[in-house]
A and B are shown apart, each in its own frame.
Chain A
């Protein structure tokens, strides 16, 4: 008990997020027996991984006090880019994936450039970028009527979302790798320390020799990368791209990051918490779906539970 209390407040919040996820799983089992069956848990976790991937990028930019509102249409554009460039052919898949991820990185870097060099507030920059990507996606595909638009994702991409290796779904292997990579980068590297430093005090970070614009661009580029990666996984999961498929991931990714104990003001929190937050949200939605509730009630409960979780452990210290 002593040791638990000795944990920093930030790690305690990660703990709470994990406990919330587990409790929600148990609640699911209580209201819908069979919820805790292995394959049902695996499905929920695979669906969480899509939110989790977006949340990785969101977590990066929120850690420096930013936000990425361009997620919906970067994700959507990436999904369409993948199917249109690969045309569902296995041989084209590798470079189609590269082009798609490159697109995400490029858009993210432009976001970072606007925030770092043009001094545009992150909310405005990424909101404008979301509109720009929506217009480009709709315009260039002729309102999604292009011949290549209805192509399927190449089998290898579908296998990435549906298949399993060593008895463990591929999507979860990928997410596990992302969790390790992102957490490692944030806690063990110079880059991670610079990120937290900027989030706590950009001026102090600058005076300490951190390249604030460089790191900012890098973080937004990473967010674009993860949105694109989520787009690829989603198109693999669903088989085809569709318009508006990125819409739910904006608010869910922000909610996951915040439920995971990351401060929206920046500088505090860990990706592990955000990952647990992504699982919590997905389990919550699955439980509400399993309860066969009307849409409106699900929406209300979703909001109530998010607020309740935040009131339980997401409050700021008294000012």
Chain B
């Protein structure tokens, strides 16, 4: 081992090295916000006001929750293709059941989150106990959850009480950011608990974690259950945004949550990344859509640019991250 490796590095350099993914995600987010403001300024000749900020935040909300859910599973080196199905199911159930009374809203919200937990539990049991690969398990359960969602709400419709919408995604002020802050805080707490530490251990080296007596099965089940709960929360937020239900609009969240997680610096190879990064990633993904909208790009070409930006961000992030790691 060379002299250079043994010398103590400054604390700052250590922090940068440990959180390189998060720093990159934050930088991309900052860049996206600046471009968004720039495009907005050029097209509308004023800064984005309360309305623009509120609608951006509200439209990002479901994706934020779905992405943080996805992150738990990706951290264990898994992947959840069924999250879109959970969003569908929760969205459909909310539209069918919710009545305009505080009791009904609270009761059904809890019930729907529990259904999400049950979906996650099924995934977790099949992956952990069934020893099946996450990608194929969630491929199968996606089909099941989508079927259930269509059974609950065959045609788009139903209604979400306005009070519920005001509470979750207030259309006048970006109050929804409070939930984002709570989610980030909850994550920081969880990260320091036993299952939170085990999550990273499993993602980095499952065999080694097993030999260290980490309960792999329990940790995986916790990850999938939390993923299910957050997927269901995403469905509730989506329903609150749309003030009605649709059993198919959630499908897109499977792939976008993976995109957002990757943009947020969460490694698909497991064990690297944080929910704060995932939140950044979800905002970046939403901002890209808004930037494309305001720059009057032909909507037909929208997915072309989204794909291109994803590639550029990942390649650039890989190059920059690699360079910084090597220089340390």
Please report the number of residue pairs spanning A and B whose Cβ atoms sit closer than 8 angstroms: 150
- Cβ-defined contact, A135 with B315, below 8 A: no
Closest to B255 in A: A127
CB distance from B174 to the nearest CB of A (A): 28
Q: Contacts of A136 on B, CB cut-off 8 Å? A: 301, 304
Contact partner of B151 (CB less than 8 A), chosen from A139, A265, A296, is: A296
Instruction: Please judge, given known A-B contacts A299-B146, A307-B137, whether A135 and B302 are in contact too, CB under 8 Å.
Output: yes
Q: Mark B301-328, 1 if CB is under 8 A from A, else 0.
A: 1111111101100110010000000000
Q: Which of B133, B139, B207 has the most CB of A within 10 A?
A: B139
Q: How many residues of chain A get a CB closer than 8 Å to chain B's CBs?
A: 50
Contact partner of A124 (CB less than 8 A), chosen from B137, B151, B262, B300, is: B262
- Cβ-defined contact, A315 with B132, below 8 A: yes
User: What is the interface of chain A mostly: helix, strand, loop, or mixed?
Assistant: helix
Contact partner of A123 (CB less than 8 A), chosen from B79, B130, B137, B147, is: B79
Residue B143 lies at the interface, judged by CB distance under 8 Å to chain A: yes
- Cβ-defined contact, B300 with A142, below 8 A: yes
Residue B148 lies at the interface, judged by CB distance under 8 Å to chain A: yes
Residue A235 lies at the interface, judged by CB distance under 8 Å to chain B: no
Residue A208 lies at the interface, judged by CB distance under 8 Å to chain B: no
Q: Contacts of A121 on B, CB cut-off 8 Å? A: 262, 268-269, 314
Instruction: Please judge, given known A-B contacts A114-B311, A120-B311, whether A319 and B206 are in contact too, CB under 8 Å.
Output: yes
In the complex, chain B residues 98-149 whose Cβ is within 8 Å of any chain A Cβ = 126, 130-133, 135-137, 139-144, 146-149
CB distance from B100 to the nearest CB of A (A): 28
- Cβ-defined contact, B315 with A118, below 8 A: yes
CB distance from A282 to the nearest CB of B (A): 15
CB distance from B145 to the nearest CB of A (A): 8
User: What is the CA–CA distance of A318 and B217 in the complex, to the nearest angstrom?
Assistant: 12
Q: Contacts of A302 on B, CB cut-off 8 Å? A: 143, 147
- Cβ-defined contact, B311 with A125, below 8 A: yes
Residue A98 lies at the interface, judged by CB distance under 8 Å to chain B: no
Q: Which of B136, B140, B154 has the most CB of A within 10 A?
A: B140
Residue A68 lies at the interface, judged by CB distance under 8 Å to chain B: no
- Cβ-defined contact, B139 with A306, below 8 A: yes
User: What is the CA–CA distance of A134 and B303 in the complex, to the nearest angstrom?
Assistant: 6
- Cβ-defined contact, B147 with A254, below 8 A: no
19 residue pairs from A and B, CB less than 8 Å apart: A69-B255, A121-B268, A123-B79, A123-B268, A124-B262, A132-B303, A135-B304, A251-B139, A254-B139, A255-B139, A296-B150, A298-B147, A299-B150, A301-B147, A302-B147, A306-B140, A307-B141, A311-B132, A319-B207
List the 3 shortest-distance A-B pairs measured between CB atoms, nearest first.
Answer: A135-B304, A131-B307, A299-B147
Q: B-side interface residues toward A, CB under 8 Å? A: 79, 126, 130-133, 135-137, 139-144, 146-151, 154, 206-207, 210, 255, 258-259, 262, 268-269, 298, 300-308, 310-311, 314-315, 318
